[in-house]
Structure 1
Amino acid sequence: MEFLKFLFSVILFFFSVISIQAQDAKEIVRKADEKMRGKTSMAEMVIKTSRPTWNREMEVKTWIKGTNYAMILIQSPAKDKGIVFLKRSKEVWNWLPTVERSIKLPPSMMNQSWMGTDFTNDDLVKESSILEDYTHSILGDTIINEREAYLIEMIPKPEAALVWGKLVVCIDKKDFLELHTRFYDEDGYLVNTMYAYDVKEMDGRLIPTRFVMIPEDKKNQKTEIIYKSILFDRNIEDRFFTMNQMRNLR
């Protein structure tokens, strides 16, 4: 009887440790997400796509509010100028000014390349929630760019229809910066790796200002996102994120 009590207490302790670790891992991911997102953010970025035979550069403006609203405006090159992506909750829309048409992107398109880059539609507009759609666990510690970091595994919840089969994220222990992320498919194969560089203070907040996405099986191919500027926690009304605003954004 005493042995059964002991065994039961060990099992309870084991599951309580797992529960605490999961909560801690989710809290670490939440802090890293909020570090780059803020309550709101308005950013200007350059996106550089490199291929073996060509290079392409885009200038982009973004407006983000919480996890439900996002707007992305392409400012250059000329042939793409005026293209807009709008996220409202789980809906993602795309405005094409050349044909004056708005298109609702189905969930099946979230794993497709965003504007020919190595980022997916979901990577940019974030239809999925890294907090609510994944189960988080701490795998251990590591060092990235001379910074001590948590190594966190993120597994999609069974009910979540997501692009990736697993993410492994390295988050700085001191400043909660996402420094390195590995993207795996449903079969466990590594697909992409994202590196974060050039940690700087922008609008009073220390963040990586350059992200590089490199496909695992495509040589001499990568996409860089470089932040030119970003403002956090400025007021953006919900009514900014409308279909009408998307069509008239300049």
Structure 2
Amino acid sequence: MKNILIGLMVVLGVQTAFSNGPVTGDPTAKEIIKKADEKLNGKTSKGEMKMTIVRPGWQREMTMKSWSLGNDFALILVTGPARDKGTAFLKRGNEIWNWQPTIDRVVKLPPSMMAQSWMGSDFTNDDLVKQSSILEDYDHTLIGSETIDGRPCYKIQLIPKPDAPVVWGKVISWIDKQEYMQMKTEFYDEDGYLVNTILGKDVKTLGGKLLPAKMEVIPADEPENRTLIENLWIEFDDPINESFFSVQNMKRVR
């Protein structure tokens, strides 16, 4: 969920050759991922974003608010359009709920739904709620360096650990070497086929941090489709009580 807040990235250049491990003096792959994750998240975060779903011949927009506390608590509220307004998603630990006000119903999402489309977009439920942990559920390997959109990046491969609750067979992430921003991420299925690419764009200062203001997901099998999330504003580290992230509050938060 948090990666879409900041948050959950077409290559313009490739400069350096791949290597089998980190160059002397470089941080380890896990240290790089940890720094990138910490930069995205903060102790707490809250913000507002716009999501644009693009299809051949049409597009639609949604607006959302979001809140997070550490790695275990997050909430997304849909604020527009009118037909979707009030729909909410809540994460507490490994449990995830969806509030649908039009039918007055709370649904607990099973793990089998994590790979499904979120609100008709090219993002999956797992992209938004991040049931899996990029730090604890994957083994990390630094496989090289590339330049993405003019920024030198570490290229890191993430392979899920046995029995980890993940939906991907492999993830490759490009992390900016200076600012530890996630500039590009590729998601592969268990058979090794590319499913989605997420691009970080429009780097600017948000909440006192230099971050991509936009994230674009492009499905590999339908490259004419795409979903763009633009962060309108973000604030980090303002106090948010754990009790805010409750099923009851999910129904009434505005």
The TM-score, its normalising length taken from structure 2, stands at 0.89
What is the CA–CA distance in structure 2 between the aligned matches of 1:249 and 1:132, rounded to whole Å? 31
In the alignment, which residue of structure 2 is the partner of 1:38? 42
> How far apart are 1:134 and its partner, in Å?
0.6
More helix per residue: 1 or 2? 1
Superposition map of 1:56-71 within 5 A: 56-71=60-75
Provide Cα deviations, 1:32-84, integer angstroms capped at 9, x if missing partner.
Answer: 11111111110100000001132110000000111100000000010000000
Cross-structure match for 2:108 = 104
CA distance in 2, matches of 1:159, 1:82: 35
- Where 1:129 maps in the other structure, the secondary structure is coil
1:228 CA drift (Å)? 0.3
CA distance in 2, matches of 1:24, 1:236: 32
Structure 2: gaps spanning 5 or more residues: 1-20
- Counterpart CA distance in 1 for 2:216 and 2:230 is 9
| Match of residue 202, structure 1, among 178, 201, 206 | 206
Q: C-alpha separation between the residues in 1 aligned to 2:113 and 2:176?
A: 32
Segments ≥4 residues shifted beyond 3 Å:
none
CA drift of 1:136 comes to 0.5
Letter in 1 for 2:188: Y
1:180 corresponds to: 184
Does residue 89 (structure 1) correspond to residue 76 (structure 2)? The answer is no
TM-superposed CA distance for 1:161, in Å, is 2.5
Alpha-carbon distance in 1 for matches of 2:164, 2:212: 29
The one-letter amino acid of 2:137's match is: D
AA matched with 1:46: K
Partner residue in 1 for 2:77: 73
The residue identity in structure 2 corresponding to 1:62 is S
Q: Which one-letter code corresponds to 2:91 in the other structure?
A: K
Aligned partner (choices 46, 58, 67) of residue 54 of structure 1? 58
Higher relative contact order (Cα pairs below 8 Å, separated by 6+ residues) = 2
Q: Which amino acid aligns with 2:120?
A: G
Amino acid in the other structure paired with 2:97: W
Query: In structure 1, what residue type is equivalent to 2:83?
Result: K
Corresponding residue for 1:141? Answer: 145
Could you say which residue in structure 1 is the equivalent of 2:15?
none
The corresponding residue for 1:223 is 227
Distance in 2 between residues matched to 1:135 and 1:123, nearest whole Å: 19
Q: Which has the higher Rg, Structure 1 or Structure 2? A: 1
| 2:207 corresponds to 1:214 | no
d(CA) in 1 for partners of 2:181, 2:130: 18
Rounded Cα–Cα distance in structure 2 between residues aligned with 1:40 and 1:181: 23
Q: Which runs of 5+ in 1 are unaligned?
A: 1-16
CA distances 1:109-143 after superposition (whole Å, capped 9, x unpaired): 00000111101001001111111111101001110
Q: Label 1:208 to 1:243 Cα distance change in 2 as closer, same or farther (>3 A).
A: same
Write out per-residue CA displacement over residues 214-248 of structure 1, whole angstroms, 9 at most, x where no aligned residue. 00111410000100000011100000001110111
Per the alignment, residue 152 of structure 1 pairs with: 156
Q: Distance in 2 between matches of 1:196 and 1:203?
A: 17
Mapped partners of 2:223, 2:207: distance in 1: 36
Residue 233, structure 1, aligned to residue 242, structure 2: no
Return the letter of the residue paired with 2:41.
R
With structure 1 as the length reference, what TM-score do the two structures score? Answer: 0.90
Identity among equivalent positions (%) equals 52
SS of equivalent residue, structure 1 residue 224 = strand
Give the alignment of 1:106-145 within 5 angstroms.
106-145=110-149
CA RMSD of aligned residues (A): 1.6
Match of 1:14 in 2: none
The residue identity in structure 2 corresponding to 1:29 is: I
Give the aligned length: 233
